[in-house]
Amino acid sequence: MTGTRAKIGFGDTLDLSDFAPAVPAKPVPHPEMAAAAGFKRREPKPAVAPVAPPAKQQRRRRTGRNAQINIKAKPETLERFYAAADSMGYGVGEAFELAVDLIEAEMRKRSK
């Protein structure tokens, strides 16, 4: 490689020093022309703020319970469970322990 470009035969006749690319013009919308052609304007409607459901109450207590259970239940059943635990003043873990105790008592009663 010599470091210089090869000559292609134009000499000095091809002078592009004053060349500048054309800036494409963005078309300007003409609402009158669009209305005359039958187009209707569709302005965005202001968004209606959705009504947020009430925030769920945090049910955290230091009880020494550190095992987790993950179950699927119907939303109505979960609401009933949380409502029952809240009305009795129990945390979720305490209410679950009470439910297990009641199930075991029912099993003992049926096995007799």
**Does residue 52 form part of some domain?**
no
How is residue 70 written in tokens?
A: 């993950």
29-38 per-position pLDDT tens digit:
788 888 888 8
What single letter denotes the amino acid at residue 92? Answer: V
Domain membership flag for residue 31: no
Statement: residue 16 has pLDDT above 70: yes
Per-residue pLDDT tens for 39-82? 887 888 888 888 887 787 776 777 788 888 899 999 999 999 99
Domain count, the chain: 1
Q: Does residue 41 lie in a domain region?
A: no
For residues 12 and 9, which has the higher predicted lDDT (pLDDT)?
A: 9
Instruction: Quote the domain boundaries for residue 107.
Output: 74-112
pTM higher than the cut 0.75: no
**Cβ-proximal residues to 81 (8 Å cutoff; 6+ apart), any chain:** 73, 92, 95
Q: Is residue 57 part of a domain?
A: no
